[in-house]
Amino acid sequence: QQQVKQSPQSLIVQKGGIPIINCAYENTAFDYFPWYQQFPGKGPALLIAIRPDVSEKKEGRFTISFNKSAKQFSLHIMDSQPGDSATYFCAASRGGNTGKLIFGQGTTLQVKP
């Protein structure tokens, strides 16, 4: 119930492609869903986040789609660039006021030039 399942584990796309990373959760008490980006040797950094009262959120080339009934959410990266090559983590938390994030397993994205 506390898990967040993320797929795929790794992804390779060509520059300009649209990688999609999917996450699913079981706990309906989760009410905050962030995505973090991690470069090698660095800590994760917040990319974009959504709360369940909206179905989509866009920030620049990054879009979260959220399906509350299916308990799934996904990250789309438009016009992907080699600089987007990193590990992406979805996460969830509940209660709205906690920094206790339950992370997915991570997706390593490689964008080829």
- Point out which residues bind other proteins (CB under 8 A): 32, 34, 38, 41-46, 49, 87, 89, 95-101, 103, 105-106, 108
- Measured between alpha carbons, how far is 24 from 48 in angstroms, rounded to an integer? 17
Give the nearest distance from C-beta 97 to other proteins in angstroms.
5
**Helix/strand/coil for 28:** coil
Nearer Cβ to other proteins (1/69): 1
Give the nearest distance from C-beta 31 to other proteins in angstroms.
11
Question: Is 101:90 a contact under the CB 8 Å cutoff?
Answer: no
Question: Is 63:76 a contact under the CB 8 Å cutoff?
Answer: yes
Give the nearest distance from C-beta 23 to other proteins in angstroms.
14
Backbone φ/ψ region at 16: left (φ over 0), alpha (ψ -120 to 50), beta: left
- Measured between alpha carbons, how far is 68 from 55 in angstroms, rounded to an integer? 8
Nearer Cβ to other proteins (1/100): 100
Give the nearest distance from C-beta 78 to other proteins in angstroms.
22
Nearer Cβ to other proteins (43/113): 43
